[in-house]
Amino acid sequence: MAAEKQVKAEKKATVADPEAASIDAATQQMIRRAQELGVETVFDRAVTMKPCNIGTQGICCKNCGMGPCRLPLPKGGIQGEDTRKGLCGASPNTIAARNFIRMIAGGAAAHSDHGRAVAEVFMTAARKETDAYRIKDTHKLRQVAKWLDVDTEVEVDGEMKDRDLDELAVEVGEKALAEWGKAEGEVLFAKRAPKARYEIWKKQGVVPRNIDREIVEIMHRTHIGVDQDYKNLMKQGTRAAIGDGWGGSMLATELQDILFGTPYPLSSEANLGVMKADMVNLVIHGHEPVLSEIIVAVAGSQKWQDYAKSKGAKGIQLSGICCTANEVLQRHGVPPCGTFLQQELAIITGACDAMVVDIQCIFQNLANVAKCFHTKLITTHPIARMEQDNVIHIEFDEHHAMEDAEKIVKLAVDNYGNRKTEVMIPKQKASIIAGFGVESIEYHLGGTFRGSYYTLNDNIINGRIRGIGGVVGCNNARTRHNEGHIEVVKELIKNDVIVLTTGCNAIACAMEGLLTPETAGVFCGPGLAEVCETVGIPPVLHLGSCVDNSRILLAAAEVVKAGGLGNDISDLPAAGSAPEWMSEKAISIGHYFVASGVYTVFGVTLPVTGAPVFQDYLFEEFEKMYGGMWDLEVDPIKHARKMIAHIDKKRKALGIDKARERILVDMDSRRAMESA
Ligand code: SF4
Ligand code: MSK
Q: Please give the Cα distance from 299 to 402 (Å, whole number).
A: 11
pLDDT attached to residue 149: 97
pLDDT (0 to 100) of residue 445? 76
* Whether the predicted pLDDT of 672 surpasses 70: no
Residue 132 has pLDDT above 60, yes or no: yes
Phi-psi region of 579 (alpha: psi -120 to 50; beta: other; left: phi over 0): alpha
Which of 224, 226, 233, when mutated, tests ligand 1's pocket best, judged by the most ligand atoms within 8 Å of its CB? 224
Q: In angstroms, what is the span from residue 284 Cα to ligand 2's centroid?
A: 14
**In the predicted model, what is the mean pLDDT of residues 321-350?**
98
What percent of the chain is predicted at pLDDT more than 70? Answer: 95
Cis-peptide into 68, omega within 30 deg: yes
Pocket test for ligand 1, best of 95, 99, 226 (most atoms within 8 A of CB): 95
Please report which ligand is nearest the Cα atom of 361.
Answer: 2
Cα 223 to ligand 1 centre (Å): 9
Say what the pLDDT of residue 675 is: 53
Q: What is the pLDDT of residue 228?
A: 98
Cα 669 from Cα 69, distance rounded (Å): 56
Give the number of the atom of ligand 1 that is nearest the alpha carbon of residue 98: 4
Condensed to tens digits (0 to 9), the pLDDT of residues 575-589 reads 999 999 999 999 999
* pLDDT surpassing 70 at residue 447: no
* 9 pLDDT higher than 90: no
Ligand closest to Cα of 360 equals: 2
272-418: CATH topology is Rossmann fold (3.40.50)
Fold held by 436-654: Rossmann fold (3.40.50)
DSSP for 3-19, written as a single string: HHHHHHHHHS--S--HH
Is the model's pLDDT at 530 over the cut of 80? yes
- With contact defined as beta carbons under 8 Å apart, do 334 and 266 qualify? no
What are the CA-CA distances from residue 242 to residues 78, 128, 191, 628 (Å)? 34, 32, 12, 13
Fold designation for 92-152+162-260: Substrate Binding Domain Of Dnak; Chain:A; Domain 2 (1.20.1270)
- The per-residue pLDDT for range 199-218, each reduced to its tens digit, is 999 999 999 999 999 999 99
The Å distance, Cα 494 to ligand 2 centre, comes to 26
Reported pTM = 0.95
Q: Which atom of ligand 2 is nearest to the CA of 340?
A: 3
Q: What is the pLDDT of residue 674?
A: 47
Asked whether the predicted pLDDT for residue 22 surpasses 80, the reply is: yes
Mean predicted lDDT score pLDDT of the chain: 94
Amino acid of residue 184: E
Whose C-alpha lies nearest to ligand 2, atom 3? 474
pLDDT of residue 398: 86
Q: What is the pLDDT of residues 591-631, one digit of tens each?
A: 999 999 999 999 999 999 999 999 999 999 999 999 999 99
Backbone angles phi, psi at 640, to 5 degrees: -65, -40
**For 153-199, how does the pLDDT look when each residue is reduced to its tens digit (9 = 90+)?**
999 999 999 999 999 999 999 999 999 999 999 999 999 999 999 99
| Contact assessment for residue 375 and residue 355, using Cβ atoms and an 8 Å cutoff | yes
Residue 504 C-alpha to ligand 2 middle, in angstroms? 6
- Determine which residue's CA is closest to atom 2 belonging to ligand 1: 88
pLDDT at 671 over 60: no
Measured by CA distance, the residue closest to atom 1 of ligand 2 is 322
Q: Is the pLDDT of residue 10 over 60?
A: no
> Does residue 450 register a pLDDT over 80?
no
Name the residue ranges covered by the structural domains of the chain.
Answer: 92-152+162-260, 272-418, 436-654
Looking at the CA of 581, name the nearest ligand: 2
pLDDT at 660: 77
175, 150 Cβ separation under 8 angstroms: yes
Ligand 1: distance of its center to the CA of 57 in Å?
A: 16
**Helix ranges (DSSP H) in 474-542:** 483-494, 503-511, 519-523, 526-535
What is residue 670's predicted lDDT score, i.e. its pLDDT? Answer: 47
Inform me whether the pLDDT recorded for 676 exceeds 50: no
Give, for ligand 1, the residue of 61, 71, 94 to mutate: max count of ligand atoms closer than 8 Å to Cβ: 61
Residue 668 has pLDDT above 80, yes or no: no
What residues flank ligand 1, with Cβ below 6 Å? 61-64, 66-69, 86-88, 90, 95, 224
Report the Cα 443 to chain-centroid distance in Å. 24
Protein residue with its CA nearest to atom 8 in ligand 2: 361
Q: What number does the ligand 2 atom closest to the CA of 545 have? A: 5
Q: What are the tens digits of pLDDT across the range 38-69? A: 999 999 999 999 999 999 999 999 999 999 99
pLDDT higher than 80, residue 341? yes
Pocket of ligand 2 (CB under 6 A): 287, 322-323, 340, 361, 473-474, 503-504, 545-546, 583, 585-586
Topology alike, domains 272-418 and 436-654: yes
Q: Which residues contact 80 (CB under 8 A, 6 or more apart)?
A: none
Confidence at residue 466, expressed as pLDDT on a 0 to 100 scale: 97
Q: Tell which wins on pLDDT, 419 or 663.
A: 419
Instruction: Report pLDDT digits (tens) over 491-510.
Output: 999 999 999 999 999 999 99
Closest-approaching ligand to the CA atom of 61? 1
Q: How far is the CA of 216 from the centre of ligand 1 (A)?
A: 20
